[in-house]
Amino acid sequence: MGKKQTGTGPLSRRPDNSAFKQQRLPAWSPSLTAQTVLPTFYILSLVCLLLGIWLLITVKNTYELKVDYTNAGTCERCFNLRKHAIDSRTACTCSVSFYVPETFPGDVFFYYGLRNFHQNLRRYMDSRDDAQMVGRKNNLKAPSSYCSPFDYYADGIPIAPCGAVANSMFNDSLTVMYNPTDVLEIQVPLYRKGIAWYTDKNVKFRNPPTNNTFTLQQAFEGTTRPLYWQRPVYELDDTDSNNNGFINDDLIVWMREAAFPNFKKLYGVLNRAQGPFTEGLPAGNYTLSINYNFPVEPFRGRKELVISMVTWFGGQNYFLPIAYLVTSGLILVTAVVLTTVYVKVGKKGKNMEE
């Protein structure tokens, strides 16, 4: 039998006689009075003040040291040498001495920092071939047009990895030496592996397929290195063959573009299992040795080594504690103004009567 047809007429669309459909559910409408609003403002101001002080103390106990080595120490010669592209592959080394005023306890992170380098330009960020970076053979020999003009050399040889991002990769080599005495020098040991994001290392960046008879160098045959690189991509790390190609940690870290023109990127983590570094980075005199390759004069930039601790709050960043303190002050000022208005005007506005 067919379903009974719903009746028609003026009452056919009337909602059911229920509390929900007839909008008879109980409701509560808060009454905003001075006795409820003003205490709320004062409590919020106090909470923001306490949070700001707590975060400020945490940041104060997070040590950070920046060593600008652009043209400091003996690096003036290298800085001038890198002004000219013709000398881009001429080796140059220099050193800078610096002092650590207090011990960095616990885990210590070493970063390289750049200033006035804009990685957030749209054209720059698009200048890459993600299909090539996951090891697709077709894209090795035929880079994406987005990489232009860093896709082919003048003789038509494809570049791997292609694009402006890879071509501008930071390629200074940094070595930090600890000088506990005038005659003793100890190299600060760093973990240089495992510094990239897990998803980048295992998903977004992969090498072309290889096996026991087909090496990584053979997989990249028919391609060449980017214009300003010192080595081809399959020889980026001469100490670990598993850290070459597109899965090189330094390359992966660089390919994740920074949002601001002044930024730092992880270079290594202190190895606390050796020598006098078991408790952290001790205070004292240090020497930074640089294999100086990356030019900064064309974009009027600066280079620096950044040594930092990391707590539950992260690195040394004053933005959040200052934001909480400013917010606390604004709320307090608002509460005082509202209290003054309430006292002057009165509950029923009697003081406003003519």
For 105, the 3-state DSSP assignment is strand
**Residue 147, in any domain of the structure:** yes
Tokens of 158: 């494809």
pLDDT of residue 354: 47
In a domain? residue 196: yes
Instruction: Determine, yes or no, domain membership for 116.
Output: yes
| pLDDT score at 14 | 81
User: Do the domain assignments include residue 236?
Assistant: yes
Residue 229 is predicted with a pLDDT of 87
pLDDT reported for residue 5: 53
DSSP 314: B
Is 270 within the bounds of a domain? Answer: yes
Please check whether residue 268 is in contact with residue 190, taking contact to mean a CB–CB distance below 8 angstroms: yes
Count structural domains, the chain. Answer: 1
Question: Which pLDDT value is given to residue 6?
Answer: 54
Asked whether the beta carbons of 131 and 204 are under 8 A apart, the reply is no
| Backbone torsions φ then ψ of 195, nearest 5 degrees | -95, -5
- For the entire predicted model, the pTM comes to 0.81
Give pLDDT, residue 22. Answer: 84
Alpha-carbon span 6 to 13, nearest angstrom:
10
The sign of the torsion formed by the CA atoms of 200, 203, 207, 213 equals positive
- The amino acid at residue 132 is Q
User: What is the maximum span of the chain, computed from C-alpha positions, in angstroms?
Assistant: 104
Range of the domain at 128: 66-319
pLDDT along the chain (354 residues), means of 10: 55 80 83 86 96 93 92 92 80 94 93 95 94 90 92 90 94 95 90 92 91 89 88 90 93 95 95 90 95 91 94 83 96 94 73 50
Beta strands in the chain (DSSP E): 64-68, 93-100, 104-105, 108-115, 173-179, 186-187, 190-191, 263-270, 280-281, 284-291, 302-309
pLDDT of amino acid 11: 62
Instruction: Tell me, yes or no, whether 130 lies in a domain.
Output: yes
- The span from the CA of 166 to the CA of 94, in Å, is 25
- Tell me whether residue 150 is in a domain: yes
Query: Which element (helix H / strand E) includes 51?
Result: helix 34-60
Contact call for residues 167 and 228 (beta carbons, < 8 A)? yes
The answer to whether the bond into 149 is cis (omega within 30° of 0) is: yes
- Nearest 5°: CA angle at 233, between 232 and 235? 70
199 inside domain: yes
